A = this chain, B = another copy of it.
Amino acid sequence: MKRPQTDPDQSDAIVKTIFEEVRTKGDLAVAKYTSLLDGTNPETTAVTTAEILQAKDQISEDLKKAIATAQINIEKFHRAQQSPKIVVETMEGVTCWQEKKPIQKVGLYIPAGTAPLFSTVLMLAIPAQIAGCNEIILCSPPNKNGQIDPAVLYAAFQCGITKIYKIGGIQAIAAMTFGTATVPKVYKIFGPGNQYVTAAKQYAYQFGVAIDMPAGPSELLIVADESAVPKYIAADLLSQAEHGKDSQVILVSNSESLITAVEAAVNEQIAFLPRQEIAVKAIANSSLIYIPEPEDTLRFINDYAPEHLMICSENESFYIDGIQNAGSVFIGNFTPESAGDYASGTNHTLPTNGFSKNYSGVCLDSFLKSVTFQKISPKGLQNLGPTIEIMATAEGLDGHKNAVTLRLADLNETL
């Protein structure tokens, strides 16, 4: 059950320092840390329309088409998550309703580093747009030339996001938390990042900014039996392992021969991976586990609470019905985990580190909050009023009772 961990205390001090500087000095502090940590001094942090149009020219037609397909699928799945206004007359004359409203200002953080994660732009910007968030901004670290990866800019533009800032790391999270002359303050921050970004998001929470979820290294758990194809399983384990040195992949199987075959296939395939060095380190954190009984396997999965769960088993409905804790689930021999990372339609921003026990992955609701309403008619207050009076009295809150008593007195007089 143990996850690879980084020491949080390491990043805490630097997070506090940068937050305090950005809070007091705004854009100046942002520029200082961009220069210091990203090694570049962009003239302005706000990306211009010219830069966005230029990015468009740098994207191949194939990639444009692929992004369009992913966009359609992600949009379909997240649009289907819209929920209607719920209206209930709880008793005669007492009408209650619940409506979801967009979070008005949201900030999307897109890391750079080892890979330009334009797919994460789609995963965050599409539901934000469907939710109807008024102001959607995006921060991403500039490279040495002071540029954001063109695919990231292109994906943002395709999703209708035009407020894009060349700011990364802790200083980006701080800028979105407090606002600067250039960067608007937001109410909720979304997106993955390294341990510093993670620590910064946790810290932002203390200043009243909501965050999508606590983060940790990526992980995949596969449950498979002899109906699974060893080379597919190996490829899926490696696809997760190449994410980062601290990734964790786990295979649980009731078949010792499958475990042996998968191990061999991993060793064979890993040699051909460009990101072999990362994958090798992640594989060192990982396990192939033999569990004979399905009930024990299910208990193990629910205790581990994986970010990604893949089910390749003749017994698949047993696991589908029994799974309680997982971020996203991939079923069958032809559903690789990378389908959900990019284009099936589900979101890839998911709870890691066992957090699928208590957190949802990013979904449409992540960009909404629920507001309740009630309207009571005079008749309704006559029905409900005495209940409120008795309960308020029992809680020693006479002011609460009085607000009802005054009104009921007037209504009884009118009768």
Among A24-32, A45-53, A160-168, A376-384, the stretch that binds chain B is A376-384
Q: Tell me the bound Cα distance from A396 to B334 in angstroms.
A: 22
Which residues of chain B come closer than 8 Å to A73, judged between CB atoms?
A: 90-91, 94, 96, 384
Which residues of chain B come closer than 8 Å to A115, judged between CB atoms?
A: 395-397
Which residues of chain B come closer than 8 Å to A374, judged between CB atoms?
A: 328-331, 335, 339-340, 344-346
Is the Cβ of B332 less than 8 Å from the Cβ of A375? yes
- A339-B374, A357-B187, A384-B343 as given contacts; A363 in contact with B98, CB under 8 Å: yes
- A343-B387, A371-B328 as given contacts; A338 in contact with B376, CB under 8 Å: no
- A241 contacts the other chain (CB 8 A): yes
Is the Cβ of A403 less than 8 Å from the Cβ of B63? no
- A371-B356, A391-B63 as given contacts; A400 in contact with B341, CB under 8 Å: yes
Which residues of chain B come closer than 8 Å to A114, judged between CB atoms?
A: 396
Is the Cβ of A329 less than 8 Å from the Cβ of B372? yes
Tell me how many chains of this kind the complex includes: 2
List which A93-132 residues lie within 8 A (CB) of chain B.
94, 96, 98, 101-104, 114-119
Among A36-44, A74-82, A137-145, A256-264, the stretch that binds chain B is A74-82
Is the Cβ of B391 less than 8 Å from the Cβ of A327? no
- A358-B209, A398-B242, A402-B269 as given contacts; A387 in contact with B90, CB under 8 Å: no
- A86 contacts the other chain (CB 8 A): yes
List which A201-216 residues lie within 8 A (CB) of chain B.
202, 205-206, 208-210, 214
Is the Cβ of B395 less than 8 Å from the Cβ of A116? yes
Residue positions of A touching B, CB distance < 8 A: 62-63, 65-67, 69-70, 72-73, 76-77, 80-81, 83, 86, 88, 90-91, 94, 96, 98, 101-104, 114-119, 151, 187-188, 202, 205-206, 208-210, 214, 229, 231-232, 235-236, 238-243, 269, 272-275, 279, 302, 320, 323-347, 351, 353-361, 363, 365, 368-378, 380-381, 384, 386-388, 390-392, 394-404, 406-407, 410-411
16 A-B pairs whose Cβ atoms sit less than 8 Å apart in the complex: A65-B390, A66-B391, A66-B394, A81-B98, A115-B397, A232-B403, A238-B403, A239-B397, A273-B402, A274-B396, A329-B371, A330-B373, A335-B374, A335-B375, A340-B374, A341-B388
Add 7 more A-B contacts to A80-B88, A115-B395 (CB < 8 A).
Answer: A72-B90, A77-B88, A336-B404, A339-B374, A339-B388, A343-B391, A359-B369
